[in-house]
């Protein structure tokens, strides 16, 4: 049993060594790049992940981002996703994607001086906020 455990640990270490780094999301409206701020919110249907919602900063603005997971999209191709930035006062600057569009970026919001959250939705009742960033 001990040899098996050591072998499993060694195999996992080797696999991690050769696992490619995750690629950052590319915002088509901010060519100088964006940086994620705050935590990722996962929209779920039971134990299945429907989408990820993230907040970014870049190009002097805040951006909301919603990514619909391919595994969910394959079973539900006719969804509409949205991405937005919201402030505590309720002001929202958002954007909707086209039917079946997997990635949606909000319009850039001039809110770097405010506390903000990203807000994302996927039709069918899935919605959520990221953590607030000030």
Give the dihedral sign, CA 92/96/102/104: negative
Look over the chain and give the mean of its residue pLDDT values, rounded to a whole number: 85
Listed residue (30, 45, 127) closest to 84, CA to CA: 127
Question: How far, rounded to the nearest angstrom, does the alpha carbon of residue 120 sit from its chain's CA centroid?
Answer: 9
Cβ proximity of 85 and 129 under 8 Å? no
Task: Tell me the pairing of strands 81-87 and 61-68.
Answer: unpaired
Residue 24 bridge partners (DSSP): none
- pLDDT tens-digit readout, 30-51: 988 899 999 999 999 999 999 9
- pLDDT tens-digit readout, 88-128: 777 788 889 999 999 999 999 999 999 999 999 999 999 99
The DSSP symbol for 11 reads H
pTM score above 0.85: no
End-to-end CA gap in the chain: 50
């Amino acid at each position: 049993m001990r040899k098996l455990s050591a072998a499993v640990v060694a195999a996992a270490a080797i696999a991690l060594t050769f696992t490619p780094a995750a690629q950052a999301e590319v915002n088509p409206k901010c060519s100088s790049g964006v940086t994620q701020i705050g935590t990722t919110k996962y929209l779920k249907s039971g134990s299945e992940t429907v989408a990820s919602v993230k907040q970014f900063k870049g190009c002097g603005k805040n951006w909301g981002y919603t990514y619909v997971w391919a595994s969910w999209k394959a079973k539900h191709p006719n969804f509409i996703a949205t991405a937005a930035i919201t402030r505590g006062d309720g002001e929202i600057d958002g954007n909707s994607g086209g039917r079946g569009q997997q990635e949606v970026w909000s319009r850039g919001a001039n809110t770097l001086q405010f506390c903000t959250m990203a807000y994302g939705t996927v039709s069918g009742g899935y919605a959520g906020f990221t953590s607030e960033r000030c």
